[in-house]
Amino acid sequence: MKVFLTHGYFLHEDEKEQQIMRPYPPLGLLYISAYLKQAGVDTFIFDSTFSNRSNLKKELNNFQPDILALYTNLMTKVTILELIKEVKITCPDIKIILGGPDVTYNVEDYLKHGADVLVIGEGEQTMLELTDAVDKGLDLNEVDGLAFLQGGNVIKTKARQKLKELNELPIPDRHSIDIAKYLDVWKKHHGQSALNVSTQRGCPYTCKWCSTAVYGQSYRRRSPRKVVDEIVILQNTYNPDTIWFVDDVFTVSHKWLVEFVEELERREIKLKFECISRADRMNEEVISLLKRAGCFRVWIGAESGSQRIIDAMDRRVSVNQVRQMIQETRKAGIEAGTFIMLGYPGETEEDIKETLRHLKESNPDHFTITKAYPIKGTALYEEISSIQSAEPNWATSTDRDRDFKRTYSSKYYDYALKWVVSEVNYEKQNGFFNKRKFKLKVNSFIGQLGMKVYKD
């Protein structure tokens, strides 16, 4: 039994990422690969990030797998569907398995577009059992966490219980892909290299716009010792300049954080990393611990500067607390970043002004800003279902293309984004009025003008 793993993401097809150039190895697939290989399954992983479709087909033909397993998310959905169609023609005997966050709430659509089996939720145990069942010709109904067609009907097996003891997972199979390419790209574009590490799975919070399709609304974590073991391997093997902890809320457990810091110090491990947190899981002591551990940047979620909108999102945090933690983090010598979205249901111009005021007062070192969109399976998606615009073609669109009736037109929020970004960045410019400040002020004016034009 031979398994071919890939994710169908091609950096050269992603114009936005080509501008940002912050790619990371496909950590989820690397966990699957390590888990299968540990069990003796003949597994080949093809990292498509720096490659192309032609090379993918060539490697697929060379390996001649029994199973093609594709990681799928909203960014790669359209490409994955195209690959399925091609493989069905050129290699009809290969069983095509899909997993990842996008399959959970789009089961029927993926199956009717050529996928043979879907892995719902975490993939390690399910993929191993599925591989064994396919190899031995066993009944797939006996494997938890699957969806497939049987007699034209969608069959969903019993939900897979989430892996409780994450320490049982092997270290991700990084040595099977070209990690040097990631390090080189980071070094070239940002002056320092970076790799990603996961310490936990699940998130216990209930933000309405956030998808929990794979790991669920839970909190499970590897021990600090296991995490530091992996960091030591990374440093000895690849020597990255920085680490990106991909966890939803790195500081969710203060007890774990204390033990992590103590483990680093006990083993005299020097680390430079960035992570994501929530303002309500930070305080002076936590900031101090992050500093001791080597944190150089922490992203503190805000999403809006309007408490009314934050409450509508079920964020369960105070905007004043967010502002204070951003400021306290910066005072401690750690960079602070934050996330903002505009166009949330019910958001008004006053709310946007509050967001602008919040960004100016908190003054984060970095901020990302997007227009809110509903991901299928989230509470936000359910809330906007009755005010959704025309349903886009599923096979040629993603959830990012899904729109709904907002307080103002969608175009209005495009200009609002331009206004907020320009105003905040203008505020950050020091010194006399110069070309950069002039351009930002012009863009701010254009943003405000567009908001007036498209407000009604």
The pLDDT profile of the chain, 456 residues, written as one tens digit per residue, is: 999 999 999 999 999 899 999 999 999 999 999 999 999 999 999 999 999 999 999 999 999 999 999 999 999 999 999 999 999 999 999 999 999 999 999 999 999 999 999 999 999 999 999 999 999 999 999 999 999 999 999 999 999 999 999 999 999 999 999 999 999 999 999 999 999 999 999 999 989 999 988 888 889 999 999 999 999 999 999 999 999 999 999 999 999 999 999 999 999 999 999 999 999 999 999 999 999 999 999 999 889 999 999 999 999 999 999 999 999 999 999 999 999 999 999 999 999 999 999 999 999 999 999 999 999 999 999 998 888 887 889 999 998 888 899 999 999 999 999 999 999 999 988 877 788 999 999 999 999 999 999 997
What is the rounded distance in angstroms from the CA atom of residue 271 to the CA atom of residue 286?
17
C-alpha to C-alpha distance for 325 and 334, rounded to whole angstroms:
11
Q: Give the number of other CB atoms < 10 A from CB of residue 434.
A: 10
| d(C-alpha 294, C-alpha 45), whole Å | 32
Q: What 3-state class would DSSP assign to 4?
A: strand
410: which residues sit within 8 A by CB, 6+ positions away?
Answer: 343, 371, 403
* Cα angle for residues 132, 134, 140 (degrees, 5° grid): 95
Which DSSP letter does residue 303 get?
A: B
d(CA 121, CA 145): 7
Q: Which amino acid is at 77?
A: K
- Ranges of beta strands (E only) in 19-110 are 42-46, 67-71, 95-99
Question: What three-state secondary structure class fits 244?
Answer: strand
User: What Cα–Cα distance (Å) separates residue 391 from each residue in 213, 342, 404?
Assistant: 22, 22, 10
CA separation for the pair 428, 116 (Å, rounded): 52
Q: Which of 94, 101, 139, 141 is nearest to 120 (CA)?
A: 101
Quote the CA–CA distance of 250 and 259 in Å, as a whole number: 13
Q: Tell me which architecture the domain covering 192-384 has in CATH.
A: Alpha-Beta Horseshoe (3.80)
List, by residue range, all CATH 3.40.50.280 domains of the chain.
Answer: 2-156
Distance between first and last Cα of the chain: 61
Instruction: Specify the domain boundaries for CATH 3.80.30.20 within the chain.
Output: 192-384
CB 309 within 8 A of CB 302: no
Spell out the CATH class of 2-156: alpha beta
In 10 A of CB 136, how many CB atoms?
8
Residue with tokens 């059992």: 129
Indicate the burial class of 153 (C-beta count within 10 angstroms; 0-12, 13-18, 19 or more).
Answer: exposed
How far is residue 130's CA from residue 283's CA, in Å, rounded to a whole number?
45
The neighbouring-strand residues paired with 125 are none
b/e code 60-94 from CB counts within 10 Å (16+ = b):
beeeebebbbbbbbbbbbebbbebbeebeeeeeeb
Mode of pairing for the β-strands spanning 335-342 and 366-371: parallel
Using CA atoms, how far apart are residues 208 and 383, in angstroms rounded to an integer?
9
DSSP H helices, 120-205, are: 124-136, 179-190
For helices 410-428 and 349-362, the axis angle rounded to 10 degrees is 20
Which tokens hold the place of 181? Answer: 């390419």
